[in-house]
């Protein structure tokens, strides 16, 4: 009531003072008012943020100071401790972690304990850890957050659940897998690879997401690695063939190489003959190289002059992986014909990777080459004593 009164008073005061002045002055008084408002608002926000952060810090220090030893002792204990014993040990801390804010702070602390433990080489006792989490109601809290209306809170919940590594119902994750928010949707789809036990790979169909980018590759890779730790992955070629997005195709092909899915080689080799997108070609060649599928070597050698620079570079890598005599001779002959200095340096390093035979070849090249080529050979051959 009083604030409104004062605001009205000053408004009328200013209006009265500047009535009759030119428009420019009245505009200025208005803009000054706006700037004063921004200034005051900023000061209030400045103090409020400081107060809030200080309070969080205090809370964190309090929880950490009182419970760190017991909680760390429980989660890194080699033996499984009974639920009721854990509850007895933690009973005194229950009052510390009650509100939403407490649980946020406590989750961050737990994540930091896990990271510290892993860095020190300690193994988490997942059963004890689960008991600790359920005693403080942490899984329930984050599951509730996953059902929040705010996409940001849901996104944060997926991150925290994954960081805690305690698992979560796949159906909860799937609630966000069709959300209109790109970031949340993609994060949920990637997480479903790990947490959905019904149909974990459903989002690998249809190129994962319309908005697929390099950061999604990192996320999918992370969840595929997590899934592969539980059991073997299905052959990823199924989704390569079904996709229309070339970047996504290239990514899946690279993953086939990473997870050493050797059975996929004949299919990939067939694809190589028809692939027309540079990134897909590179991924195919490098994956087949990594999987040591030597049958494509002759294809690579025959088609080398027709390839773009990036595909040539991938072919060099693949031929190096095969490590055949024929491949070595080919690389040496290409070295002498290449004008591109980047490729030349790559070729020299590849030849060097053939070991003693490679070094002999480099010496041969060096004996009858230009000054620059000799320099490349010297660079590649140089070894610190």
* Contacting residues for 371 by C-beta, under 8 A, at least 6 apart: none
Residues of 347-357 as b/e, b for ≥16 C-beta within 10 angstroms? bbbbbbebeee
Closest CA to 156 of 196, 112, 192, 187: 187
Start-end of H helices in 83-203: 83-90, 100-119, 126-136, 138-146, 151-164, 170-174, 182-195
Stretch of 267-275, 288-296, 339-347, 360-368 lying at the interface with other proteins (CB under 8 A): 339-347
Largest interatomic CA distance in the chain: 96
DSSP sequence for 36-92: HHHHHHHHHHHHHHHHHHHHHHHHHHHHHHHHHHHHHHHHT-SS---HHHHHHHHGG
Q: How far apart are CA 121 and CA 114, in angstroms?
A: 10
Tell me: does residue 384 bind other proteins (CB under 8 A).
yes
Stretch of 134-142, 214-222, 281-289, 327-335 lying at the interface with other proteins (CB under 8 A): 214-222
Tell me: does residue 372 bind other proteins (CB under 8 A).
yes
Which CB atom, from 119 or from 198, has the smaller least distance to other proteins?
Answer: 119
DSSP state of 212: -
* 43, 147, 262, 273: residue in contact with other proteins (rule CB under 8 A): 43
Tell me: does residue 360 bind other proteins (CB under 8 A).
no
Stretch of 87-95, 128-136, 152-160, 271-279 lying at the interface with other proteins (CB under 8 A): 152-160
CB atoms within 10 A of CB 292: 13
Tell me: does residue 50 bind other proteins (CB under 8 A).
yes
Residues in the chain: 385
Q: How far apart are CA 154 and CA 76, in angstroms?
A: 29
* 8, 53, 197, 329: residue in contact with other proteins (rule CB under 8 A): 53
Q: From the CB of 229, what's the least distance to other proteins, in Å?
A: 13
Tell me: does residue 103 bind other proteins (CB under 8 A).
no
Tell me: does residue 127 bind other proteins (CB under 8 A).
no
Helix (H, G, I), strand (E, B) or coil at 168: coil
Tell me: does residue 31 bind other proteins (CB under 8 A).
yes
Q: How far apart are CA 26 and CA 40, in angstroms?
A: 21
Tell me: does residue 309 bind other proteins (CB under 8 A).
no
Structure tokens at 133: 């989490």
Contact code string over 157-196 relative to other proteins, x by CB under 8 A? --x--xx-------------------x-------------
Which CB atom, from 102 or from 254, has the smaller least distance to other proteins?
Answer: 254
Q: How far apart are CA 224 and CA 234, in angstroms?
A: 11
Tell me: does residue 61 bind other proteins (CB under 8 A).
no
* 7, 9, 13, 29: residue in contact with other proteins (rule CB under 8 A): 29
Contact code string over 261-300 relative to other proteins, x by CB under 8 A? ----------------------------------------
- CB contact at 8 A, 268 and 301: no
Tell me: does residue 365 bind other proteins (CB under 8 A).
no
Tell me: does residue 249 bind other proteins (CB under 8 A).
no
Closest CA to 169 of 201, 192, 149, 151: 192
Total number of residues that touch other proteins (CB under 8 A): 50
Tell me: does residue 342 bind other proteins (CB under 8 A).
yes
* 49, 94, 230, 262: residue in contact with other proteins (rule CB under 8 A): 49
DSSP state of 177: T
Tell me: does residue 101 bind other proteins (CB under 8 A).
no
Q: How far apart are CA 319 and CA 330, in angstroms?
A: 9
* 3, 78, 120, 214: residue in contact with other proteins (rule CB under 8 A): 214
* Binding site residues, other proteins, CB under 8 A: 21, 24-25, 27-29, 31-32, 35-36, 38-39, 42-43, 45-46, 49-50, 53-54, 152, 155-156, 159, 162-163, 183, 211, 213-215, 217-219, 221-222, 225, 258, 341-342, 344-345, 372, 375-376, 378-379, 382, 384-385
């Amino acid at each position: 009531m009083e604030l409104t009164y004062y605001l009205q008073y000053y408004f009328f005061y200013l209006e009265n003072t500047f009535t009759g002045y030119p428009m420019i002055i009245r505009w200025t008084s208005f803009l000054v008012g706006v700037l004063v408002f921004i200034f005051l608002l900023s000061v209030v926000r400045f103090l409020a943020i400081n107060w809030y952060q200080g309070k969080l810090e205090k809370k964190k220090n309090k929880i950490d100071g009182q419970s760190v030893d017991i909680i760390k002792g429980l989660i890194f204990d080699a033996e499984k401790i009974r639920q009721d014993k854990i509850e007895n040990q933690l009973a005194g801390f229950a009052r510390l972690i009650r509100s939403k804010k407490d649980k946020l702070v406590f989750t961050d602390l737990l994540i930091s304990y896990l990271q510290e433990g892993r860095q020190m080489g300690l193994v988490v006792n997942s059963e004890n850890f689960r008991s600790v989490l359920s005693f403080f109601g942490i899984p329930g809290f984050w599951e509730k957050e996953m059902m929040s209306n705010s996409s940001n809170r849901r996104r944060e919940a997926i991150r925290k659940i994954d960081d805690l590594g305690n698992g979560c119902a796949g159906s909860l994750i799937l609630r966000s897998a069709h959300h209109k928010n790109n970031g949340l949707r993609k994060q949920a789809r990637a997480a479903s690879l790990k947490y959905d036990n019904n149909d974990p790979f459903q989002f690998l169909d249809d190129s994962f997401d319309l908005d697929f980018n390099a950061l999604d590759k990192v996320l999918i890779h992370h969840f595929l690695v997590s899934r592969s730790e539980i059991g073997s992955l299905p052959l990823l070629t199924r989704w390569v063939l079904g996709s229309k997005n070339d970047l996504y195709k290239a990514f899946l092909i690279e993953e086939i190489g990473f997870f050493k899915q050797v059975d996929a080689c004949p299919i990939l080799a067939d694809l190589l003959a028809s692939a027309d997108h540079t990134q897909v070609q590179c991924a195919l060649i490098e994956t087949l190289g990594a999987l040591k599928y030597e049958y494509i070597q002759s294809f690579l050698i025959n088609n080398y002059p027709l390839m773009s620079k990036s595909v040539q570079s991938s072919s060099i890598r693949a031929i190096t992986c095969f490590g055949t005599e024929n491949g070595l001779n080919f690389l040496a002959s290409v070295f002498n014909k290449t004008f591109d200095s980047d490729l030349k340096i790559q070729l020299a390093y590849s030849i060097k990777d053939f070991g003693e035979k490679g070094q002999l070849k480099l010496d041969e090249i060096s004996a009858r080459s230009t000054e620059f080529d000799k320099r490349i050979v010297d660079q590649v051959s140089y070894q610190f004593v």
